[in-house]
A and B are shown apart, each in its own frame.
Chain A
Amino acid sequence: MNDRYIRQVILPGFGMAAQEKLLAAKVLIVGMGGLGCPALQYLVAAGVGTIGIMDADTVSRSNLHRQLLFNTDELGQPKVKLAAEKMKAQNPSIQVQAYPYALTRSNAAEMIADYDLVIDATDQFMSKYLINDVCVLLKKPWIYGAVSQYQGQLSVFNLQLDSDSAEPIHYRDLFPVSPAPHEIASCEEGGVLGVLPGIIGTMQAAEAIKIITGLGHTLYGRLYNYDLLQASGYEINIVKQRDPVKIDQVFFETMNYDTNCEMPEEDPDMHDIEEINVGTFMQLRKDPNVFVLDVREKHEYPPIDFADAQIPMSELHTGISMLPEKSICVICHQGIRSVYAAQLIKARRNLTVYSLKGGLTAYFKQESR
């Protein structure tokens, strides 16, 4: 070996053994933006043998303040093609595979199967859930990273530990269901200081190197939050869901990974919705003129037998026209999505619409008393 890697090889605990593990490793980076650029640069320089990079985007001017791989004279060019060329010049001894398209349900399993671990450098919830679910199915670790204004989040999910036969901790243990469209302004960027994804993306590269070499302790089981303005970190120990979503092939094939960024055409906030308590709900549901609508996704627990129909939030747009001419009482897990669903229904149909306050959580709590 030449002296390219000498400064890390001489580190205590590193040595040629760790360097050889890096050279043999295959890492897939999904997203070549603010997180993906620094993660890629450091992994290439460190000598990770094979790196796949996925992104359908081209370089735009507003990318340049945080995506330092790209230059002003490269606007409009495909990101992964540029990145792969530059990385070959940085370190000709490693392989960079460029995939100029997005990760989708139909290509995800095939893509990820070829790699040892995945770095999530995406900027959408649905991509994060897609990466999570495929990694769970294929038993691959992945490194989560995300930013929101001046703060960043980081964790390692689905690391396969020999000592633990239970299903590893993954993203759905933090947030079992993707936020409904109104819940987080995910598509609308709230703004970001370029250095923040630089920090988080670089930390993702560091976690990747630790997973590959076995050095130190990874963030598996911990969510790390970095606050740039306060220059402070905050860690939370993640607890496995007691009744976790079972991620199997059927779940994967029926899950909707595409609706996240769909915003309703109507402004649903215009419609005030009457939120009813559990007692009122118990009375109302006996009324034959009241139609109980469950808007939870199909995989959510527990199943219930007192809804007249289940139309998941993700399919509600097409389902509203099928609702009968009755008063509609919308229910969900916590009573949050149901308010939004009720507003959507009211915007389109001239019906009385209620939402069960506190959702099924409140219902089962009262029932168990």
Chain B
Amino acid sequence: MGINVLFFGSLTDATAVAALNNVAAGDTAALQELLHQQYPALRTAKYFIAVNQQMIRENTTLKTGDVVALMPPFSGG
């Protein structure tokens, strides 16, 4: 069943969807590359990645059922 991906905030301007299900990727770097190919506007977007609600700092192995969140900064007030 693959990886579930969540796009937050303005990232949906690039993806047009808030979530993807059942994505095939072995680690977060591969996932990012895949997403950047599918949604080129994501390449220049600023965001950090969380795997299963835990912020990550480096490439992280993914397994079926993992939820990967792409979170951009917000500044509106």
> Measuring CB to CB, which residues of chain A are less than 8 angstroms from any residue of chain B?
31, 33-36, 121-125, 128, 145-149, 151-153, 174-175, 179, 182-186, 189-190, 192, 197, 223, 225, 227, 234-239, 241-242, 336, 339-340
- Number of residues from B at the complex interface, CB < 8 A: 23
- Asked if B34 is an interface residue, CB under 8 A from chain A, the answer is no
B10 engages A184 (CB within 8 Å): yes
**17 residue pairs from A and B, CB less than 8 Å apart:** A35-B77, A145-B77, A146-B75, A146-B77, A148-B76, A151-B8, A153-B9, A174-B48, A179-B73, A190-B10, A192-B76, A197-B77, A234-B69, A238-B55, A239-B56, A242-B57, A336-B46
A184 engages B72 (CB within 8 Å): yes
Contacts of A33 in B (CB 8 A): 77
- The 0/1 profile, CB within 8 Å of A marked 1, for residues 26-60 of chain B is 00000000000000000111101010011111000
Number of A-B residue pairs with CB-CB distance less than 8 Å in the complex they form: 100
Residue of A nearest to B75 (CB): A186
Q: How far is the CB of B49 from chain A (nearest CB, A)?
A: 10
B53 engages A236 (CB within 8 Å): yes
Alpha-carbon distance between A60 and B71 when the two chains are bound, in angstroms: 32
Q: How far is the CB of B36 from chain A (nearest CB, A)?
A: 11
Contacts of A145 in B (CB 8 A): 77
Residue of B nearest to A123 (CB): B77
> Given that A149-B10, A151-B9 are contacting pairs, would A175 and B46 also be in contact in the complex, using a CB cutoff of 8 Å?
yes
A179 engages B74 (CB within 8 Å): no
Q: How far is the CB of A169 from chain B (nearest CB, A)?
A: 10
Contacts of B74 in A (CB 8 A): 146-148, 151-153
Contacts of A192 in B (CB 8 A): 76
Q: How far is the CB of A92 from chain B (nearest CB, A)?
A: 28
A236 engages B44 (CB within 8 Å): no
Q: How far is the CB of B66 from chain A (nearest CB, A)?
A: 14
A122 engages B77 (CB within 8 Å): yes
Contacts of B54 in A (CB 8 A): 236-237, 239
- Asked if B24 is an interface residue, CB under 8 A from chain A, the answer is no
B71 engages A225 (CB within 8 Å): yes
B10 engages A148 (CB within 8 Å): yes
- Asked if B25 is an interface residue, CB under 8 A from chain A, the answer is no
Q: How far is the CB of B26 from chain A (nearest CB, A)?
A: 17
- Asked if B23 is an interface residue, CB under 8 A from chain A, the answer is no
**CB contact between A174 and one of B43, B53, B73 (< 8 Å): that residue:** B73
